Amino acid sequence: HTTYEAEAVGVILGLHLLAKEAHLDETVIAVDNTSVIKACNRTRARPGQYLLNEIHRLSSRLQQKHGREVGNYALTIQWTPGHEGIAGNESADAAAKMAALGPAATSPRRALPAILRKELPQSKSALRRAHTDSLKAKWTRIWRNALVQLRIGHAPLNQHLHRINCADTARCESCHAPSETVRHFLLHC
């Protein structure tokens, strides 16, 4: 998962904490990721941005709840310079370092809000990498190379060898067809 996703989840968790408060008038959520802040300021949702949709939904709910009570509720998501002496940020960094160094422990899934219990979709590049890795696990390097050569038409068959002046003729030596192509080799000969 990305830093962007982690920051967005942090905003969602902050909004869930604010939802438990009885009275709010002005609230500031500090984030050190400008991309999340810019995305939160967009009024129109884009496809695949379910974390931002949840941020908008929760902030609207807070506005409805506290805007009626106080009359001028304001929620601000502002930039905080990362790692620059801000007490909350410093303690969060220290807690993150302790968690990284300590034994692996996670929150129980049922303790998390429903939106955070959902599986995050994998990126296209991660799916491609997983597919490539699974193919590599199934085939030896020699078989993979042979498959690639057949797919691109550069297999050591007479048609290709004749084209690069390594064979006198493109003719198939097994059945004497006029051209030993990949298609001929795999399907006819």
**Could you tell me the residue ranges of all domains in the chain?**
3-121, 126-188
pLDDT of 152 reads: 92
Q: Is CATH 3.30.420 the right assignment for the domain spanning 3-121?
A: yes
- CA 87, 90, 95, 98 torsion-angle sign: negative
pTM for the predicted model, two decimal places: 0.46
Cα gap 12→1, rounded to integer Å = 16
Strand partners, 74: 26
Cα gap 51→56, rounded to integer Å = 9
pLDDT of 171 reads: 95
- CA 44, 46, 47, 49 torsion-angle sign: negative
pLDDT of 7 reads: 86
pLDDT of 183 reads: 93
pLDDT of 170 reads: 95
Please list the rounded mean pLDDT of every run of 10 residues in the chain (189 residues).
82 91 82 86 71 88 72 79 68 67 68 76 80 84 88 92 93 93 91
